Amino acid sequence: MREVAVIGAGMSRWGELWHQDLRDLSCEAVLKALAETKADRVDSIHVGCMTGGLFAGQEHLASVMADCLGFAGVPASRSESACASGGVAFKAAYAEVAAGLCDVALVVGVEKMTDVGGDEATYALGTAADQEYECYNGATFPGLYAMMAVRHMHEFGTTRRQLSQVAVKNHSNGLLNPEAQYHAKITAEEVESSAHVADPLRLLDCSPITDGAAALVLCPLDMAKKLGKKAPVKVLAIGHATDTIALHSRKDVCRLAAVEKAAERAYKAASLKPEDIDLAEVHDCFTIAEIMVTEALGFARRGEGGKLVASGATAIGGKIPVNTSGGLKSKGHPVGATGVAQLVELAVQLRGEAGGRQVKKPSAGLAQNMGGTGGSSIVSILGVA
C-alpha cells in the first residue's frame, strides 16, 4: 500500500444559491482544488452525494460529473451513505491511490438542496432513517435527535445551556470562514428563545438546508512535491463502521457505536490516541450530536461532552478545537458535500492557511462524518507530511 497525500482542496460558497445548479457548484469547488496542484490529468473521480435524484432530479452523477468537469472518459463513481456520503467517497479515492490503481484521484462532494420545498426536503432527508418503522410512524431527524438529547440530559445531567454553547461556538467560528452559509454571531439566550422544533431542540440547535460543494485532489505521497503547489497533507488513517439504522434497535441511544468503532479503527491505524489530535471537524447536524460525538471520539468521558464545550476546551485556542470551520451548524450542511468539506478544513488548518480561525501549529486533525442518527460513520485522520 502506498502512502497518500492531499495536494488540493477547494470549496464553493455555501448557502441558498438559487443562481447555481449542481454542476456549477461542483465545478467551482473542483477548479479551486485543481488550482492548488500541477497535475495535468485526473485518473479517477469519486462523487459523494446523498440523494441528487430527490433534491435535484439528477442521478447517474458519475457520468454527469465527468462530463461537466471536462473529464469525459475518466472512470467515475458515486458513493452514498446518507450524510456520510462525502467521507465514504474520500475513502474510496484514498483506497484507489493507496492500492496503485491510479495516481491522481479527484473527490467531489455536492448537494443542491434548495430546489425543493420544505416538505420535499424533509422527505429526502428522511430516507436516511428507517422508513418502515421510524418514518412510517412520523419520526423526523429533529425528533430522533431530540429523543437522544432528552435521554442524554436525563442520564448525565447535560443542560439546555450546554446545547446552546455548541451553537454559539460554531457560529463564532463561522464568522471567520468566508465560505460559510451563516455569518451571524448568536447568544445562548437567542438559541433558547428561537422557535421550537422538537423539544428540547430549537431552530438554532439545527443545521440548515444548504447548497454547496467541496473537492479534494489526492496522489501518492512520494509524488506530492512534483504534483502539488503547496505543502502536502498526509492521510494517516481512515476508520469506518455502521450501526443499526433505527434508534429503537440500539441498546443505548446515548451512545454512537458506529462513531466509537470507526474512531477506534482510525486511531489504531494511525498509532494515535485522542489526546494526539490537535483539532476535529465533527458532524454537528444538531447540537446534541456534537456533544455525543466528542464522547464517542474519546475527547470527553461518557456523559461529559456537555461539560467539555462549557469548559471552553472545544473553542479555538482550547485543548481540542472542534468545528473551527463553523461546523454543519454555521458553515452549512449540503449533506453529500459535508464530509469532503470537513477534510478541506483540516487540510487548510494543517497547512497553516486558516486565517483568523487558525489553530496553533497543528500536526494531526480528525474528521468525523456520519449518516442518519449514526447508522454509519467514517473517521479520517490527516497529518502534516
| Residue among 27, 83, 135, 206 flagged as catalytic | 83
Averaged pLDDT, 120-131: 95
| Residue among 46, 171, 240, 333 flagged as catalytic | 333
Averaged pLDDT, 103-130: 95
Are the folds of 4-117+209-233 and 140-204+236-384 the same?
Answer: yes
The residue assigned the cell 432528552 is: 150
pLDDT tens-digit readout, 166-201: 999 999 999 999 999 999 999 999 999 999 999 999
Mean pLDDT of the chain: 97
pLDDT tens-digit readout, 251-273: 999 999 999 999 999 999 999 99
Closest CA to 244 of 134, 338, 85: 134
Closest CA to 83 of 289, 251, 383: 289
Superfamily of segment(s) 140-204+236-384: Thiolase/Chalcone synthase (3.40.47.10)
Express as a percent the part of the chain with pLDDT over 70: 100
Residue 296 in grid coordinates: 464517542
CB 314 within 8 A of CB 297: no
303: left (phi over 0), alpha (psi -120 to 50) or beta: left
Whether residue 27 lies in the annotated active site: no
Whether residue 240 lies in the annotated active site: no
| Cβ neighbour number for residue 351 with a 10 Å cutoff | 18
Please give the model's pTM, rounded to 2 decimal places.
Answer: 0.98
Local structure of residue 230 (DSSP, 8 states): S
Domain ranges of the chain: 4-117+209-233, 140-204+236-384
Q: How far, in whole angstroms, is CA 224 from its chain's centroid?
A: 25
Superfamily of segment(s) 4-117+209-233: Thiolase/Chalcone synthase (3.40.47.10)
Helices (DSSP H) in 57-102: which residue ranges? 61-68, 85-99
CB 181 within 8 A of CB 332: yes
